[in-house]
Copies of this chain bind each other. A is one copy, B any other.
Amino acid sequence: MTGSLAVIGLGPGDQRYLTAEAEAALSAAQALYGYAPYLDRVPPRAGQSRHASDNREERARADAALRHAAQGGRVAVVSGGDPGVFAMAAAVCEAIETGPESWRALDVTVIPGITAMLAVAARIGAPLGHDFCALSLSDNLKPWALIEQRLDAAAGAGFVIALYNPVSRARPWQFGAAVERLRRHLPPATPVVFGRCVARADEHVSVTTLDAADAEKADMATLVIVGSRETRVIARPGRTALVYTPRAAAEVSA
């Protein structure tokens, strides 16, 4: 008997963004592995074991889940958002590549979810309505110079930029440094969206400008979207503004 491993995207926040496929995969699993707050979102099921671990232990969690699957279990790893975007699917692939050969025989599936940038963008209009990129500001696993190079390239070429992991307790200055870097390329009035805890009770989405962006609160639960030169804000009387990037782009920037 060969086991299986499903890497499941829960989407952001509560159950409203769970897909039918993710729901089916959760109910089929004999064992769930995940970061504790993500596991807490999944209602308990009889006969299903739960294995919580800490945020930083992605590789150890992947190894443990794969060992369990290799013993014949139907195992699931749960991930917030989409498991393929700065989350568990890459850690599982790393473990499969470098682990015992038997792991390469396992039935592995990845089940996509709504990633944070899509949820935040939806809340405020369509800031990702044209070409965009997703960039993690964590320099735990890459040099800061590479992050700067990518900020320069993306802003210089007119991509809207979704910033994941803008700040953590161990990385207090990176977000401010990124904002400063982006000011070299983009006008002060460029719209910036802060989306915190989207689809949770304490959800907070706000719009500011690039020249004021570093004064805004960002934390580990925040996703930041920095517009391009084309991104626009529509003021609406009595309603929150809409932010969007038009489908057409006319200019080649310098």
Contacts and interface: CB of A to CB of B under 8 A. Distances in A.
Given A96-B234, A110-B126, A114-B114, A149 B252 contact: yes
The main secondary structure of chain A at its interface with chain B is mixed
Nearest to A97: B234
A179 interface: no
Contacts of A71: none
B122 A110 contact: yes
A90 B244 contact: yes
Interface in A129-188: 129-136, 141-143, 145-146, 149-150, 152-154, 156-159
Nearest to A96: B234
Interface residues of A, number: 84
Nearest to A123: B110
Given A21-B17, A108-B242, A126-B90, A133 B132 contact: yes
A84 B118 contact: yes
A192 interface: no
Given A112-B119, A131-B136, A150-B158, A141 B237 contact: no
Given A131-B134, A134-B133, A125 B89 contact: yes
Contact of A93 (B111, B126, B154, B156): B126
Given A16-B19, A153-B154, A244 B126 contact: no
A133 B149 CA distance: 14
Contacts of A89: 121-122, 125-126, 129, 244
B131 A150 contact: yes
Interface of A: 9, 11, 15-21, 24, 58, 82-86, 89-94, 96-97, 104-105, 107-115, 118-119, 121-123, 125-136, 141-143, 145-146, 149-150, 152-154, 156-159, 232, 234-239, 242, 244-253
